[in-house]
Amino acid sequence: MPRVSVIVPNYNHAQFLKQRLDSVLGQTFRDFEVLLLDDASTDASLDVIRQCAAEPRIRTLLNETNSGSPFKQWNRGLDEAVGDYIWIAESDDFAETKFLEELVAVLDANSNVGIAYCQSCIVQMDDSDHGPKPVTGWYASFEDNERWDTGFSNSGRNELANYMVYKNTILNASAVLFRKSALSDGLRAPENMRLAGDWMFWVRILHRSDLVFLSQPLNFFRTEHPGSQRSRTSKHCLELIEGLEVYEFIDHTVQLDAKTKTRVLHDQVQLWAGLAYTRRLAWRVNRDIFRKLLHAHPELAHSEWRKIILPFIYFFVGTPLKRIAPLRNGVRAIKRTMGLCIDSLRQEKRAE
Question: Is the full-model pTM beyond 0.75?
Answer: yes
For the domain covering 4-232, report its CATH number. Answer: 3.90.550.10
Q: What's the pLDDT at 139? A: 93
Q: List beta partners, residue 95.
A: 219
Residues of the chain with CATH 3.90.550.10: 4-232
Tell me the three-class secondary structure of 92-126, residue by residue: CCEECCCHHHHHHHHHHHCCCEEEEEEEEEEECCC
Give me the tens of pLDDT residue by residue for the chain, a chain 352 residues long.
Answer: 899 999 999 999 999 999 999 999 999 999 999 999 999 999 999 999 999 888 999 999 999 999 999 999 999 999 999 999 999 999 999 999 999 999 999 999 999 999 999 999 988 766 555 455 778 788 999 999 999 999 999 999 999 999 999 999 999 999 999 999 999 888 999 999 999 999 999 999 999 999 999 999 999 998 764 544 544 444 567 889 999 999 999 999 998 999 999 899 888 887 887 777 677 777 777 778 888 888 898 877 776 655 555 555 444 444 444 454 555 565 566 566 656 665 665 666 666 6
Rg of the chain in Å (alpha carbons) = 22
Asked, as a colleague might, if the bond just before 320 is cis with ω within 30 of 0, I would say no
Q: DSSP string covering 259-305, please?
A: HHHHHHHHHHHHHHHHHHHHTT--HHHHHHHHHHHHHH-GGGGGS-H
Query: What is the rounded (10 degree) CA torsion for 55, 7, 70, 66?
Result: 30
